[in-house]
Amino acid sequence: MRFLKKLICFTAVVFAISSILSGVYIFRPDIMDQIETVLDPGQKNAETVTGNQGLWDETASHTDESAERVEKTEGEETGPEAEEYGTDEKEPLENDVIAESAVSDYILPNQSEIVVPENVSGRNGYRQIQENKEQIDDEAAEELQDQIDAGYTGDGLDFDGVSYPYYAMLDDRGKHIYRQIYANANEQYAVFMPAEPITSGQLKNVFLAVYNDHPELFWLETAYSCKYLRDGRCVEIHLEFNRAAQNIDEAKAVFQENASQIISEARNLSGDYEKEKFVHDKLTERVSYDSGAEMNQSAYSALVNGRTVCAGYARAFQYLLQQLGIPCYYCTGYAGEAHAWNIVALDDGYYNVDVTWDDSDGGRYDYFNKTDMDYADSHMRQDLSVYLPPCNGSVYRNLEQNSEDSSLRSIADLGMAEDQILRDMDSYYRDCYDQLLQNGRGSYTFYNVIEEEQLLEEWRRAYEEERYKEAYMENAMIQLGVSSCEMEIEIEELRDGKFLITHKVSAW
């Protein structure tokens, strides 16, 4: 009897709890969700993961044909494996899509020491990439998935690292998105979902890489939009095009016609340097700097309209040299303001070229084929451009002279070659020591050439402070067995910032 009473009481309690839970379930389902989460957290996590998988079921397909457009069909799975998006493994999205191999020996100048010469002040105009981002929720993303597809994936396309260095800077995932953006831009397909998981922050580097590598996409604007989820994953990319896209066939025809006029003449020249100089000169002749020029970030503004800013000069120079088979890169950074110029690969190395600043009052070749050292006080690379190769070429540096230098002698006039130029004091001391021993006792004259005013100032101080005696003179006198050595020195300025030093010696 006592057991029966306990059973009746237990049944009544269970019934009461069940009634309460039923009421909560009907009138307060949110509380019921919280209770379920406490009782079985794994079940709630599983539902969340499933929701993310559904969002990314149909992102992009991979084809063997270049720039093939992908359209979703009902029930067709076109995206990467769902587990890539729905697990806790976020590691693939934590890097910045820059490959580990993207390194450079470029030495970054100090921005505070950048000085812009007066005659080129204000001749900039590069517009940095602008990203317009909008965060949306999962529900909006699911609706978006029914409205857009991956467009043209670019699968089957490939870009070699010599001609397209920014492509080579990216990891495999970044390269896939790069190819997709390129293919959609090429087809003027503005809105699409990314073919790979990528965050809105990483997308900017990929877009920048596409833009910097491809001046032929002159209708592509320097801005784009991105919709992304709370975790940062991008779900929509929206490219922007300029006015040329409205009648793209006509725009392409007139662009190619103007470019071909320069390219056809340049192809008749013998070497890459001659072709490079010819293109440089043609642009400075045909193009005018105009900060208000239409589409001034594009090669079109320079080659067709003839009016542009630094970006247009650099994009046109890049495109023309690419067509001539000469690697030429679009380099961006700081030169008093945001600025763009070029890096050119010739047979002995890389060189900086700033066509915009050469097309100004003053020297026509002041910024043509210069080293990073030459540019260190006026140009500083930024963003992905810091990964471009350092510019240390010497063979084609300073071969062209400005008119004001015409009265000065060159090293060729002296019968000397570039490899005979002394570029530091240790080399100068060794050369003087060797020439003294070679000439021996008596009265005679010997010469050497040093480069750059900075080295000249160091040379002057060495003689003012008589440091040259310990550096080479005293040892030379011991070797020659002389007790007296008088020396008269003369300096002559040569072209290209070089200086001839004449030593008149009397050693006894």
For 319-377, what is each residue's pLDDT tens digit?
999 999 999 999 999 999 999 999 999 999 999 999 999 998 766 899 999 999 999 99
Please indicate whether residue 40 or residue 123 has the higher confidence score (pLDDT): 123
Under the banding of pLDDT at 50, 70 and 90, the label for residue 401 is low
Q: Which tokens is 230 given?
A: 């709370």
Cα–chain center distance at 183: 20
Per the listing, tokens 């200086």 go with 499
Do the beta carbons of residue 149 and residue 242 sit within 8 Å?
A: no
Q: Which tokens is 165 given?
A: 């260095």
Q: Rounded to the nearest 10 degrees, how much is the dihedral formed by the CA atoms of 43, 48, 50, 53?
A: -160
For 269-311, what is each residue's pLDDT tens digit?
989 999 999 999 999 999 999 999 999 999 999 999 999 999 9
Report how far residue 227's alpha carbon sits from residue 236's, in angstroms, rounded to the nearest whole number.
Answer: 5
Report how far residue 64's alpha carbon sits from residue 174's, in angstroms, rounded to the nearest whole number.
Answer: 18
Under the banding of pLDDT at 50, 70 and 90, the label for residue 504 is very high
What residues have CB less than 8 Å from 500, skipping those under 6 apart? 409, 414, 447, 448, 449, 491, 492, 494
Pairing between strand 485-493 and 498-507? Answer: antiparallel
* Helix residue ranges per DSSP H, 72-231: 83-86, 138-145, 165-168, 172-186, 200-213
What residues have CB less than 8 Å from 308, skipping those under 6 apart? 125, 287, 289, 290, 293, 296, 298, 301, 302, 316
Report how far residue 357's alpha carbon sits from residue 202's, in angstroms, rounded to the nearest whole number.
Answer: 33
Most confident of 8-12, 59-63, 493-497: 493-497
Q: Where are the domains of the chain?
A: 96-114+122-401, 418-507
Per the listing, tokens 């350092």 go with 390
pLDDT of amino acid 92 = 43
pLDDT of amino acid 90 = 39
